[in-house]
């Protein structure tokens, strides 16, 4: 399991497989009907805590807002964001390597922005406590996770949710089932 410390949301992980192309169909999996957000409050982001890493693996910088709001740009932005997000949340004091692979992405219009689904695989190598204590033991464990990251990107906000592979979230803008990560002026 990857180490994820989140004040707001930690979703279930499951082992399955599937790939689709950017902007393509999601292979016939049911998609939720988009519902517009009724929230009119000022945007508040959810704090997501990450570890500071180790000498072997350090945090990656998070990207800023997308260059434009067309489907292709939003898809690339969500992929960049997920690579950094997944990497940073796998960090810990004994982590010696983190690999993040994006295995398929779909983008569709939803509730005044775009909804992005990314099939994600992470592989984290963690040194044994004895190895980090310096007693010469070089044992390590490898932890893998497979999940879908869901993003909602609009002119004003970035939200993220997570499900098992091919899982769905009920709201198109992730206002009720996601975590608000960033707010921008439109």
CA 81, chain centre distance (Å): 7
Per the structure, the complete domain to which residue 100 belongs is given by: 5-27+44-183
Res 56 pLDDT > 50: yes
Confirm whether 36 is domain-assigned: no
Q: Report yes or no on 32 lying in a domain.
A: no
Number of domains the chain is built from = 1
pLDDT range class, residue 36, cuts 50, 70, 90 = very low
CB 31 within 8 A of CB 182: no
Asked whether residue 39 is domain-assigned, the answer is no
| Strands annotated E in the chain | 5-6, 48-49, 95-110, 113-127, 140-153, 157-163, 179-183
Residue 85 lies in a domain: yes
Strand 113-127 to 140-153 pairing:
antiparallel
pTM of the model: 0.73
| Per-residue model confidence (pLDDT) at position 82 | 97
Residue pLDDT, tens place only, 98-142: 999 999 999 999 989 999 999 999 999 999 886 555 555 568 999
Domain assignment present for residue 33? The answer is no
């Amino acid at each position: 399991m990857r180490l994820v410390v989140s004040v707001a949301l930690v979703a279930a992980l499951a082992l399955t497989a599937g790939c689709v192309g950017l902007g393509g169909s999601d292979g016939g999996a049911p998609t939720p009907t988009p519902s517009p957000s009724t929230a009119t409050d000022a945007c508040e982001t959810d704090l997501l805590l990450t570890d500071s890493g180790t000498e072997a693996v350090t945090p990656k910088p998070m990207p800023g807002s997308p260059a434009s709001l067309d489907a292709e740009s939003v898809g690339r932005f969500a992929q960049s964001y997920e690579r950094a997000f997944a990497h940073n949340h796998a960090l810990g004091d004994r982590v010696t390597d983190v690999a993040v692979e994006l295995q398929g992405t779909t983008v569709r219009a939803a509730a005044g922005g775009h909804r992005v689904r990314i099939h994600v695989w992470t592989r984290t190598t963690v040194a044994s406590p004895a190895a980090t204590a310096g007693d010469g033991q070089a044992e390590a464990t490898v932890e893998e996770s497979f999940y879908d990251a869901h993003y909602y990107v609009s002119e004003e906000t970035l939200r993220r949710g997570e499900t098992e592979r091919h899982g769905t979230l009920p709201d198109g803008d992730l206002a009720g089932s996601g975590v608000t990560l960033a707010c921008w002026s439109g």
